[in-house]
Chain A
Amino acid sequence: MLLTNSIATFGSYCLFMRRVFSIPDKLKIFLRRTVAEISKLGVDSIPLVIIISLFIGAVIAIQMQLNITSPLIPAYSVGLATRDIVLLEFSNSILCLILAGKVGSNIASEIGTMRVTEQIDALEIMGVNSANFLVLPKIVAFLLFMPVLVVFSISTALFGGYFVAFVTDIITVSRYVYGLQALFQEWYVWYGLIKSVVFAFIISSVASFYGYYVKGGALDVGKSSTNAVVSSSILILFFDVLLTKLLLQ
C-alpha cells in the first residue's frame, strides 16, 4: 500500500513537473516574476543564513580546538577542519535542511492558499498554465540564488571561526588563517555548490507539488506545508549520500 502510494505520488510529481517545465506564455512576465521570487525566496533568506552560519562556524572552531588535544596534531588543524566541515557539509546540506523549513513551507503554504481560495482555478479558467506560471519562476529563482546563499554561508561561517580566534585565546588568528589555507581543494567548493543546486530544486519543486495539490481548507494547507518540509528533508538527506558517493569517491 505504502509502495503503491509512493509510486502514484512520484507519478503525479513527474506529470506536474512536465506542466511546470513548459515554455511560459509571456517571457517578460516570467522574468519579472522570477526577479520577484529571487527577492522573496533568496534575498530575504540572507539574514537567516548569515546568523546561522556565523554561530555554527564559531561553534565548529571551538569544538575542534577542544577535541584536538594531541600534541601530534598541528594547531592549524582547527582552521582546516572548520573549513572542510563548512565546505563539505554545513554550507550546503545542513543549510538546505534549514532552508527546506523556511523556503519550503513558504512555497507550499503560498501555493496551497491559492489553491483553496480558487486563485489557481481562476488562472486555469483564464487559460493560463497555472503550474508553469506559479512554480517555474520559484524553481528558477531558487536554483539561481542558492549558490549565492552558499557562498554567503561559507564566508560567514569561516568568519565565525575567525571571530572566535580573534576574541579568545584558544587559537591564534594566524594559525586559524593558515589552517583555512592549508591543503585547500578547490573541488570541495564545486562539490558544495553542485549539491546545493540539487537541493534547491528538491526544496522548491517538492514544496510546490504539495502546495499545488492541496484539497480542503486552512488545516490542509498547514498539513501540506509540513509534508513538504518532511519530504524535502528526507530527499535532501538521501541525495546527500548519493551525491557524496558520486562526487567525492
Chain B
Amino acid sequence: MIEVKNITKSFDGKTILHDISATFHTGKTNLIIGQSGSGKTVLMKSLVGLIRPEMGEILYDGRDLLKMDSSQVKDLRKEIGMLFQGSALFDSETVLGNVMFPLVMFTKMTEAEMRDRALFCLERVNLKGADKKYPSEISGGMQKRVAIARAIALNPKYLFCDEPNSGLDPKTSIVIDELLSDITHEYNITTIINTHDMNSVLGIGENIIFINKGYRDWVGNKDKIFETTNEALSDFVFATDLFQKVKDYVVHNSHHIR
C-alpha cells in the first residue's frame, strides 16, 4: 500500500499540487485521473521520486520515500516497476535484452535463468516469439507489452503506469488494461495508473483519485463514478455524448444492473 499525505509541489512559484492526500491499495488497480495540466503526472513523478515535493509524506508500506537516503531509495526502486507513456524501451537492445535488463543489473542469476525469466514474462504478456526483435520493429501495443514485461521482471511490489493507453487503438487499449488488471490481481501488486482514458476508468477503476487543478477533488471507484455529484468530475468523465449516454443508461437502469 502506498499512502500520500499532504504533499505540495510548486514550480517557479506556481503551486501544481495542493496538499494532496490519497491511499493506493495493494492488489487493486488505482487510477489517477484528471485533465491535462491538472498535476497528475507531477503527482506520479513525485510518487516514484523523480520529483521531490516541498511538503508531505509518501509512505511505501510505512516507509517514507522523502526521508530515505540514496541507498534506501535505490533499494526501494528495485521493488518498483514502471511503464512509461512512450514505453521507454532501450533502442539498442532486443525485446529480450530489454526484459532481461533489470535482471542483469540487479540479480545474481545465471544467463540461462535470466533468459528463462525474461521469456516467461514475455509469454505472460502474450509476446512469445518476439524476443529477437528490436523495439523499432514492433507495434506500439507490442512495445507497451514489452515495457510491462520489463516492469514485472523483478516481481515488483509497486507498478506505476503513466498513460499506458496513449497512442493505442481502443481494442489494444482494452488488451493493455486487462493485462494490467490481471497482473495486479495475480501478483498482488499495488498498481497506480495515470490516465485520462475513460474506457480504462470505467473498465478497471477499482480505486479512482480525481485531481482537479492540483487538488484531490474526488475519490471512489468505477461504480460510484456514475452517481457522482461532483461537477468537475462529471464534466471530465462524461464529456462525450457516448459516455453521457452510458451514464444515463446506467443511472436509469441501475436497479436492473445491480
Query: Do A128 and B88 contact each other (CB < 8 Å), given the known contacts A121-B50, A122-B82?
Result: no
By a beta-carbon cutoff of 8 Å, the part of chain B in contact with chain A is 48, 50, 73-78, 80, 82, 84-86, 88-91, 101-102, 104-106, 160
B1 to chain A, nearest CB (A): 19
Residues 4-30 of A contacting B (Cβ, < 8 Å): 25-26, 29
- A44 adjacent to chain B (CB < 8 Å): no
Instruction: Check if B78 sits within 8 Å of A125, measured CB to CB.
Output: no
Selected contact of B50 from candidates A25, A29, A117, A124, CB within 8 Å: A124
**In whole angstroms, what is the CA distance A124 to B105 when docked?**
12
Check if B102 sits within 8 Å of A126, measured CB to CB: yes
Chain A residues closer than 8 Å to B88, beta-carbon distance: 117-119, 121-122
Are B105 and A26 neighbours in the complex by a CB distance under 8 Å?
Answer: yes
Contact (Cβ within 8 A) B50 A128 = no
Closest to B77 in A: A127
Q: Tell whether, in the assembled complex, residue B50 and residue A126 are in contact, meaning their CB atoms are under 8 Å apart.
A: no
Task: Mark A residues whose CB is within 8 Å of B.
Answer: 25-26, 29, 117-119, 121-122, 124-128
Q: In the bound complex, how far is the Cα of B48 from the Cα of A124, in angstroms?
A: 10
Residues of A within 8 A of B89 (CB): 119
* CB-defined contacts of B73 to chain A, threshold 8 Å: 127
Rounded to whole angstroms, the CA-CA distance of A25 and B76 in the bound complex is 16
Give the residue name and chain of the B residue nearest to A133 (CB): B105
Distance A28 CA – B48 CA, assembled complex (angstroms) = 28
* 30 contacts across the A-B interface (CB closer than 8 A): A25-B105, A26-B104, A26-B105, A29-B105, A117-B88, A118-B84, A118-B85, A118-B86, A118-B88, A119-B89, A119-B90, A121-B50, A122-B82, A122-B84, A122-B88, A122-B90, A124-B50, A124-B77, A125-B77, A125-B82, A125-B160, A126-B102, A126-B105, A126-B106, A127-B73, A127-B74, A127-B76, A127-B105, A127-B106, A128-B105
Q: How far is the CA of A126 from the CA of B89 in the complex (A)?
A: 13
CB contacts (< 8 Å) of A122 on chain B: these are: 82, 84, 88, 90
* A123–B78 CA distance with the chains assembled, in angstroms: 11
With A118-B86, A127-B77 given, can you name 8 additional A-B contacts, CB distance below 8 Å? Answer: A26-B105, A117-B86, A118-B84, A118-B85, A125-B48, A125-B160, A126-B78, A127-B76
- A119-B84 Cα distance, complex, nearest whole Å: 9
Cα(A91)–Cα(B98), bound, Å? 40
- Please determine whether B78 and A127 come into contact, CB atoms closer than 8 angstroms: yes
Choice from A29, A121, A124, A127 contacting B104 with Cβ under 8 Å: A29
How many angstroms between the C-alpha atoms of A125 and B75 in the bound complex?
11
Cα distance A25–B74 when bound, in Å? Answer: 11
Nearest-neighbour CB distance to chain B for A30, whole angstroms, equals 11
Please, which residue of chain B has its CB at the minimum distance from the CB of A26?
Answer: B105
Q: How far is the CB of A37 from chain B (nearest CB, A)?
A: 11
